[in-house]
Chains A and B, each alone.
Chain A
C-alpha cells in the first residue's frame, strides 16, 4: 500500500495521460440505462473496429451523463481537440464517428451535442449551451459520465477523498460546523437538516453508532440514486466516511435494492479499492478513526425505504415500520443510535468538505440550499437525469431543460415525489422547486422523481395508478394504510369505469384524510397525496367521469368508445380482421360497425385502419378524437399509467 499522497500523484498523472492520449478515446456511457439503450453493442463495435484496424484508440466505460432521451451517449476525445459529446450512438453511428471524428478529426454534426470544455470547435458549440443543460448545476453528478466508475484513480484525480482527508483534519466538530454552514437537507424527501440529525444522534451516549446509506430507491420512474451509485460510487462512499467520522460511527451499511446489480457490483469493487487505499477498516489513514461498511441487498419492498422498516430488514426481520419514538438516531439498528442518509445526501458531503459549507449554501433558495437531481420522465421531450439548484422553477425544468411535451401537446401537470407526492397543475409551473413550496402545493420534494403529464393523461387514472402501487406496497401493518389505500383504489376504479357518484368524491377525501392522519409511517401518511392533489386541482375531471361518463384524456378505457366514421370508412375490412374479439361487423366495401358491448377497447382497429381513411376514432362523452394510427405497435393498448 502506497501512501495516499503517492496515489494522488499517480492518479493525477494517469488522468492527465488519458486526457492527452495520443490516439482517440471513446468514453461510452454504460450505466444500466445506457446498456438498456444499447451501449453494450456500441462498445462492442468500437472495440471490434479498433482491433481490426489496429488503432491505438481506447474505449472507456463511464457512467451516466444524464440525457436518457439521447442514449447511447459517447464522448470522443482526439489529440489537440476538445472532447465532444454525441448522442444516439448505436453500432453504425459508432463506426461513422470513429472514422470521421476519431480518425478524420472532423466532428459528426448530426449527432454532436456539444463540446465538453465550453469551446466552439469546427461548428460544434459547447454542450453547456444545449438547452437541456440550461440552468443545470452538476455537483452530485459532476463525475457521472466523465470518469470510469470502476477506477478509483479517476475519482482521486478529480478531488476524490480530499473532502474526507480534510474531515479527518478538522475532526467531528469541524465537520458538523461545515455541514451546518451548508444547511444540507435530507435528499430522501423529507428534507430534515443533516446536521440536526447528527446532533440528535451524537447526543445519545453509546459506544456503538451506525450509519446507513439508504439506496432502496423505489419510486416508479425514479433513477437518480442508481445513476450516482453506478457512475460515481466513491462519492457516496466518501460521503459515508465523512458522516461516520462526524457521528463517531464504527459501522456502516449500504442498503441497496437487489434490482440494482450493477450498482452493487460497483459498490463492492469500490469498497475493495478503499480497503487497499487504507480508507476502510481499522485506523484509517493512521488516525484513531475505524470504520467498516457492508452492503445489504434489499428484496424489493418499497416500504423498506422507510427508515424503521429498513432497519428491521437489515436485522433480518420483516420490513415493517415501527412507531417513533424511539427515533433511529436514538435507538436504531440493533437498538443503537443510527443515522440514515439518502444516497444523494451523502454524495453531496465530499464537495461540501472540499469547498466549504458556504460554497454549497450559495446555490439554492433561502430555505433549500444546494442542488437537487431529478429523474425527468413522462410526457417531456428530453427525459433524463438532471441536476438543478433548488429553487429553480418547475417551468424552467419542464419547458427549457425538458423541452416541453412532445407532439406539441400541452403540459397538464407535473407529478413530483413518486407515489408519496402529488400533481402540480400547469398553471402553477412557476412554483420554485424547494421543500416548502412543494409541500404547500400539496406534494413533496421526494427523492427526485418528476413525471410530466400532458393532455393524454387522465388525472383520475394517474391517482389510481399511484394508489394501485401503494396498496400493493403498503407493508400491511397499520389499518389506515393497508385498508385505506385499497378502499381509495376501489373508489377510483369505480369512478374510472363511470360507476362513481358525487358522494364518492367525499368518500375519497374522507378516506384520504383518514389515511394521512392515521397511518403509522411516511408511506401511509403520504400515500393519499396523489388523490388529494388531483382532487384539489383537477376535481372537474372527477366530476366529468361521474356526471358525464367522460374521460377527457381518453385514458380510462371503460369510458372510451371506439367508433367508425361512416363518411370515411370504405369497408376495407382491415379493422374487422384486426379485432381480436370479433366486435366489428360489416360487408366488404360497406361501412363497418363496432359493437360497443363486445369491444374491449384494445385499439387494434384504430391502429389498423389505413392512414388514408383514418375512419376509426375514439369518443368519451362529448370528447371526440381523431388520430392517425400508431405506427409502432399494431395493437398498442391505451396507456394505463404514467410510467
Chain B
C-alpha cells in the first residue's frame, strides 16, 4: 500500500505502522519507547504525527499504515508539541546539562563521564555517550524547561548484584518492563504505583533476586537513559569495539556481541533474539578482568613460586618434562579449551612426550567434570583447577597453565599465565557438537599467552618445532573444520531462564569465587561485603551525624578534636574510611573546637568516598589527619568575590566568614545544576554581604554558573579586588579565564590526588607558573592565572582505571557494622 508522508510517497508493507513505513523510507520520526523486538507501546508521545481524517495527533508507532493515508510529521504545530512533550519528559530526568550554555566547553574539558553515586547531570552519567534523551534534546532543539525539574528524590538502588538502578533518571519508557516480559515470561519488574508516583519496581518491594530475576541483563541493554546500569562496566566509557563471537562458558554456545574498550572486555550481549544468561552477560567480563589474574610465569623455588622470565620458565619446564617422556606423563585439559588448543595438547602429549595419557575432562552443563590420572603418572600438565591437590601431591612435576589462582598452586612447580575466552581465537565445540567461532576481542593481562602458544614454546624448547604456529588459524586449517555462529533457536537458552542452570565453573574454577555477584545465588557462599563499618560509642573519628543534603552530596560531622582545635579557614584534612581505603583530602567546611567536631561535605565519586558516605552514624573512620595545608591568607583585600560549586559550596563558608570579619565586602556566588541541588544557601547568605545562588537550568536564582554571576556583576560596574574559586577544576578554570584578562587577583583551591598530605610523596604536585608545587603543603590555594589546568585534569585521572575497577564489583553494595573494642582505639 502507498501513503504520503510529508508529500513523499511511501510504500508500506502489510502490518506496518506509520512509523515503520517512514523508517523504511528513511524518514526519521523521533521516538523513545519503541524497540525492534517489542510491540509498540505509545507512551513517550514523541512520535506524534498529523494524519488527514484523524482527530488530534495520533502516535505513528501504534497507528497502522493504510492505503492513501496522508501523514505530516514536520508541521510547526507538531514540532512545538514535540518540544513541549520532551520538555515534560526532561522534568523527570536530570536535565541541567542539556540546557547548559557551557555544555560544549565542559565536554571538551572532560570528554569522559566521571563516576558518581547518584547521577545529577550528563558528565556524571554512565550513559552519557549513548543516551537517547540526550541526543533527542539536540535533535528537537530543547532549550528550556516549562517548570523547574520535578526531581523524585529516589534512593540509588545498589542492593542487587550486577545491576545498579537510579530511578531518578527514569523516563518510564517501559522498555525494561516489556523486554523482561518478553524474555522472561511474566517478568519480574513492572510499573508500580500510579500518577506521579509511578516507577519501575518489583512487587511487594522485593529485590530483583527475590522477584525471580535471572539477571539476563535484557533490561539493562534496553534502558535508554542510564537508569539501569551494569555495575561492572558502567564507568569504563563507551565501547570502542563491538564484536561478534560465541559465549564459551557452557555448551549452549550462544552467539554474542561483545563490548570492549581499549582492549578490555566490558560485557556480552545476546546476538540472538533470546537473552543470554548472567554468566555470559555479566560474569564473563568481570572474570576476565579479575584483579587476581596471573600475569607472569612462575617457577617453584623451595616453598615459593617465584616470578621468572618466560624464557626461563619455558627452559625449566622443557628440561623437567624431558625426564618424563612416555606413560609417566599426562596432559589434563577440559573441553573449555579451544579445539585448536586441544589439538596442540594432544600432539604434544603423543608426539613430543610420547605418552598415551591425553586426558580430556568433558564438562557438564554446570561446567564441572571429574578427571582421574592414569596409573604411573609422575608428571602432569593441567589447564585449570581440574584435579585436587591431593590427587597431584604424589607427582614429581606439575605444570599449570591457568589464569586464576586455585589450590593447584600448592603443588604446581611451574605456572604459565593463560589467555582465555575472548582473549583467544579458535573454535569451540558446543553441547550439540557444532563448532562455533571464538574471536580474539580483548587483551590478556601481563604475559598471558594462548595455551597452544605456551605449549608450542615448550615443544620448541624440547626440539619439536612442528607445534609452533603463527596464529590459531593455522591450527584450525589443520583441523579442517568449519565453524558457524548460532543463528536461530526455538526457545531461550535454559540458563537465561533459570539461574540454577547457569554454568558454575570455568576451567575448574568456581565462577563465584571471582565474580562476587554470583555468590548471591549460592546460599552457602560467604557474601561479598563491600563496606565493613567499625562502629563505636565514643573515641575519635566517629561520625556524629550524616545527612544527604542534596542528591549525592553528604554532610558529615566527625569527632576529631585535634583537627578541630587547630583548624583555620581554607585548610583541609585527609580522611580514610577504613584501613585499606585511599587517603582523600576534604576541605574543612566547619569546625567546633570546643565540641571537637569537624564538618565535611563529601560528594560520592568513587570507592573511597562511597565507603565514607556508607558509614553509618556512629561509624568510625580509620583516620582523619589535619588540619593540613596553608590557611587562606585573611586580610582586608577590599571587595572579594567567592565562587563555589559542587563540594566547594561547603568549603566557601569559613573563608567568607573570615574575610568578612577582616573587613572585606564579600560576595558569595555558588552554583548548582538545579534547584534541588542547592544547599547551605541560608548559611552562606548570612556569611556574606551579597549572596547569589545560581542554577545552570535557571530553576531558581540566577540562571547560569557562578562565574556568570560574577561576570554579570562586573559588567554592571562592580569591582573586585580578589576573586576566590572553590569547586571542580572546570569551574575554577572558568573563573580564572574570566579574571585573567581583567587582571583581578584570583585564588583557587586545588584538589589533586594526595597521599600523605605532608609534602613527602609528591602525588599532589601541580605546575603553577614556572614552578612545581605540592598542593598539600604549598596549597591548597594558588594563583589561578598560573595554574596549568590541563595538567590538573590529567593528574586527577591518573588512576581512573583502578578507580573504576574498584567500584565495579558485581556484589551488592552493603554495609556490615562491626563494633570496635574501645581499648584498641588509637588515642589521638
Residues of A within 8 A of B (CB): 301, 303, 318, 320, 322-323, 325, 470-480, 482-487, 490-491, 507, 510-511, 513-514, 517-520, 525
Q: A325-B63, A483-B91 are in contact. Are A490 and B147 (CB under 8 A)?
A: yes
Check if A486 sits within 8 Å of B43, measured CB to CB: no
CA distance in complex: A483, B43 (Å): 12
Chain B, Cβ-Cβ closest to A491: B147
Q: Could you tell me the distance between the alpha carbons of A41 and B475 in the complex, rounded to whole angstroms?
A: 96
Q: Are B42 and A514 in contact (CB under 8 A)?
A: no
Question: For residue A322, which residue of chain B has the nearest CB?
Answer: B42
User: Which residues of chain B are within 8 angstroms of A325 by Cβ–Cβ distance?
Assistant: 62-64
| B48 CB-CB contact with A under 8 Å | yes
Interface centre among A323, A474, A478, A479 (most CB of B within 10 A): A479
Q: Which residues of A contact B57 (CB under 8 A)?
A: 517-518
Shortest beta-carbon distance from A191 to chain B in Å: 14
Question: Which residues of the other chain, A, contact B63 by a CB distance below 8 angstroms?
Answer: 323, 325
Residues of chain B within 8 A of A320, CB atoms compared: 191
Determine the distance from Cα of A476 to Cα of B44 in the docked complex, in whole angstroms: 11
Residues of A within 8 A of B91 (CB): 483, 486-487
Q: Can you offer 13 A-B residue contacts whose CB atoms are under 8 A? A: A318-B191, A323-B58, A472-B194, A476-B191, A477-B43, A477-B174, A478-B45, A479-B45, A480-B45, A482-B172, A485-B195, A514-B84, A518-B45
Known: A483-B89, A491-B147. A473 touches B194 (CB 8 A): yes
Asked whether B194 lies within 8 Å of A480 as measured between CB atoms, the reply is: no
Q: Does B727 contact A (CB under 8 A)?
A: no
List the B side residues contacting A470 at CB < 8 Å: 195
Contact pick for A487, options B40, B44, B146, CB 8 Å: B146
A517 to B45, CA, bound (A): 10
- Considering the complex, which residues of chain B in the window 47-74 have a beta carbon less than 8 Å from any beta carbon of chain A? 48, 56-59, 62-64
Residues of B within 8 A of A476 (CB): 172, 191, 193-198
Determine the distance from Cα of A518 to Cα of B85 in the docked complex, in whole angstroms: 7
In the bound complex, what is the Cα–Cα distance between A322 and B59 (angstroms)?
12
Q: How far is the CB of B43 from chain A (nearest CB, A)?
A: 5
Contact A518 B81 (CB under 8 A): yes
Q: Smallest distance from the beta carbon of B177 to chain A beta carbons, Å?
A: 9
Q: A472 to B91, alpha carbons, bound, how many Å? A: 17
Bound Cα distance from A592 to B174, whole angstroms: 59
Task: Tell whether, in the assembled complex, residue B195 and residue A482 are in contact, meaning their CB atoms are under 8 Å apart.
Answer: yes
0/1 string, B180-201, CB within 8 A of A gives 1: 0000000000110111111000
Indicate if the CB atoms of B195 and A472 lie closer than 8 Å: yes
Q: How far is the CB of B92 from chain A (nearest CB, A)?
A: 6
Q: Which residues of B contact A487 (CB under 8 A)?
A: 88, 91, 146-147, 150
User: Contact between A483 and B88 (Cβ–Cβ < 8 Å)?
Assistant: yes
Q: Confirm or deny: B171 has a beta carbon within 8 angstroms of a beta carbon on chain A.
A: yes
The answer to whether A507 touches B198 (Cβ under 8 A) is no
Q: Is A482 within 8 A of B196, CB to CB?
A: yes
Give me 15 other A-B pairs in contact (C-beta within 8 A), A323-B63, A518-B84 excluded: A323-B40, A325-B63, A472-B194, A477-B172, A478-B42, A480-B88, A483-B150, A485-B196, A487-B146, A487-B150, A513-B84, A517-B56, A518-B57, A520-B43, A525-B56
Provide the bound-state CA to CA distance between A360 and B197, in Å: 45
Residues on A with C-beta less than 8 A from B150 are 483, 486-487, 490
Q: Is the CB of A472 within 8 A of B172?
A: no
B193 / chain A contacts, CB cutoff of 8 Å: 476
Complex Cα–Cα for A477 and B200 (A): 11
Contacts of B43 in A (CB 8 A): 477-479, 520
The residues of A that contact B84 with a CB separation of less than 8 Å are 510-511, 513-514, 518
3 pairs of A and B residues whose beta carbons are closest in the complex: A476-B198, A323-B42, A514-B84
Chain A hits for B89, CB < 8 A: 479, 483
Instruction: Tell me if A479 and B147 are in contact (CB < 8 A).
Output: no
**Which residue of the partner chain A has the closest CB to B45?**
A518
Q: Count of chain B residues with Cβ under 8 Å from any Cβ of A?
A: 36
A472 touches B147 (CB 8 A): no
Q: Is the Cβ of B195 less than 8 Å from the Cβ of A510? A: no
Chain B residues contacting A510 (CB-CB under 8 Å) are: 84, 146
Contacts of A514 in B (CB 8 A): 81, 84-85, 87-88
CA distance A517 to B79 in the complex (A): 12
Query: Are A474 and B196 CB-contacts (below 8 A) given A479-B85, A480-B85, A511-B84?
Result: yes
Whole-angstrom distance between the Cβ of B147 and the nearest chain A Cβ: 5
Query: Nearest Cβ distance between residue B544 and chain A, in whole angstroms?
Result: 31
What's the least CB distance linking B782 to chain A, in Å?
43
CB distance from B11 to the nearest CB of A (A): 21
Contact A511 B146 (CB under 8 A): yes
Chain A hits for B191, CB < 8 A: 318, 320, 475-477
CB-CB under 8 A from B146, the residues of chain A are 487, 507, 510-511
Residue of A nearest to B56 (CB): A517
The answer to whether A479 touches B196 (Cβ under 8 A) is no
Closest to B147 in A: A487
Report the bound CA distance from A320 to B84 in whole Å: 23
* Residues of B close to A483: CB separation below 8 A: 88-89, 91-92, 150, 196
Residues of B530-550 at the interface with A, using a CB-CB cut-off of 8 Å, are: none
**A484:B194 contact, CB within 8 angstroms:** no
Nearest chain B CB to A302 CB, angstrom units: 9
Assuming the contacts A318-B190, A477-B172, A479-B88, asked whether A471 and B42 have C-beta atoms less than 8 A apart, the reply is no
- The residues of B that contact A475 with a CB separation of less than 8 Å are 191, 194-195, 198
What is the CA–CA distance of A472 and B191 in the complex, to the nearest angstrom? 15
Contacts of A491 in B (CB 8 A): 147
Q: Whole-angstrom distance between the alpha carbons of A486 and B44 in the complex?
A: 16
Q: How far is the CB of A181 from chain B (nearest CB, A)?
A: 27
Nearest-CB residue, chain A, relative to B92: A483
Structural contact, B56 and A472, CB atoms closer than 8 A = no
User: Given the known A-B contacts A482-B198, A486-B150, are A323 and B171 also in contact in the complex, defined by CB atoms under 8 Å?
Assistant: no
Query: Considering the chains assembled together, what is the distance between the CA atoms of A484 and B148 in angstroms?
Result: 12
Interface centre among B45, B150, B172, B198 (most CB of A within 10 A): B45
CA distance in complex: A510, B146 (Å): 8
A507 to B699, CA, bound (A): 14
Complex CA–CA separation, A497 to B223 (angstroms)? 39
Contacts of B196 in A (CB 8 A): 471-472, 474, 476, 482-483, 485-486
Q: Which residues 494-508 in B have Cβ within 8 Å of A in the complex?
A: none
* A residues near B171, Cβ cutoff 8 Å: 479
Q: In whole Å, how far is A516's beta carbon from the nearest beta carbon of chain B?
A: 9
Considering the chains assembled together, what is the distance between the CA atoms of A485 and B62 in angstroms?
24
Residue of chain B at shortest CB distance from A515:
B88
| Residues from chain B with Cβ under 8 Å of A507 in the complex | 146-147
Write out the residue numbers on chain A whose beta carbons fall within 8 Å of the beta carbon of B88: 479-480, 483-484, 487, 511, 514
* Complex Cα spacing A474 to B42, Å: 15
A residues less than 8 Å from B48 (CB atoms) = 517-518
8 Å CB contact of B172 from A473, A479, A511: A479
- Of chain A, the residue at the smallest CB distance from B87 is A514
When C-beta atoms are compared, the residue in chain B nearest to A326 turns out to be: B64
- Shortest C-beta distance, B64 to chain A (Å), equals 6
Q: Kindly list chain A residues whose C-beta atoms are within 8 Å of the C-beta of B62.
A: 323, 325
Q: How far is the CB of A295 from chain B (nearest CB, A)?
A: 23
A323 / chain B contacts, CB cutoff of 8 Å: 40, 42, 58-59, 62-63
Collect the chain A residues with CB atoms within 8 Å of residue B58's CB.
Answer: 323
Nearest residue (CB) in A for B90 is A483
- B92 contact set on A, CB distance < 8 A: 483
| Cα distance, A323 to B146, chains bound together (Å) | 26
With A480-B85, A487-B150, A490-B150 known to touch, is A520 a contact of B45 (CB < 8 Å)? yes
Report B416 CB to chain A, min CB distance, Å.
56
Asked if A471 and B195 sit within 8 Å, CB to CB, the answer is yes
How far apart are A71's CB and chain B's nearest CB, in angstroms?
A: 33
Instruction: Give the distance to chain B from A435, nearest Cβ to Cβ, in Å.
Output: 16
Distance in Å: Cβ of B603 to nearest Cβ of chain A: 28
Q: How far is the CA of A525 from the CA of B57 in the complex (A)?
A: 11
- On chain B, the residues within 8 Å of A303 by CB distance are 194
- List chain A residues, Cβ under 8 A from B40: 323
Cα distance A477–B44 when bound, in Å? Answer: 8
- Least CB distance from B781 to A in Å reads 40
For residue B71, give the distance in angstroms from its CB to the closest CB of chain A. Answer: 15
